[in-house]
Structure 1
Amino acid sequence: MAKKTALITGILGQDGPYLARLLLDKGYRVYGLIRRYSNPNFSNTDYLGVTSGIEFVTGDITDEKSLMSIIKLITPDEVYNLAAQSFVGVSWEQPKTTTEVNSLGVLYLLHAIRSAAPGARLFQASTGDLFGNNSVGGIQNETVPFKPRSPYAVTKLYSYWMTVNFRESYGMFCANGILFNHESPIRGQEFVTRKISTGAAKIKLGLAAELILGNIDTRRDWGFAGDYVEAMWLMLQHERPDDYVIATGEVHSIREFLDTAFKRLGIDDWGGYVRYDSKFSRPTEVYTLLGSPEKAKKVLGWSPKLTFEAIVHMMVDADIARLSGC
Structure 2
Amino acid sequence: MDSHSTPKTPVTLLGLGDMGTALARAWLAAGHPLTVWNRTPEKARPLVGEGARAAATPSEAVASAAGPVVVCLLDDASVGETLSGTELHGRDVVNLTTNTPDQAERRARWARERGARFLDGGIMAIPPMIGRPDTGGYVFYSGDHELFERHREALTVPAGVKFVGEEPGHAALYDVALLSAMTGMFAGITHAFALMGPEKDIDRARFATLLTEWLGGMAGAAHGIAAQLESGDYTEGVGSNLAMMAAANETLLATAQGRSVDPRLLTPFMELMRHRVDQGHGDEGLAGTIGLLRAE
Query: Smaller-chain TM-score range?
Result: 0.3 to 0.5
Structure with more contact order per residue of length (Cα contacts < 8 Å, sep ≥ 6): 1
Return the TM-score normalized by structure 2. Answer: 0.42
* Larger-Rg structure: 2
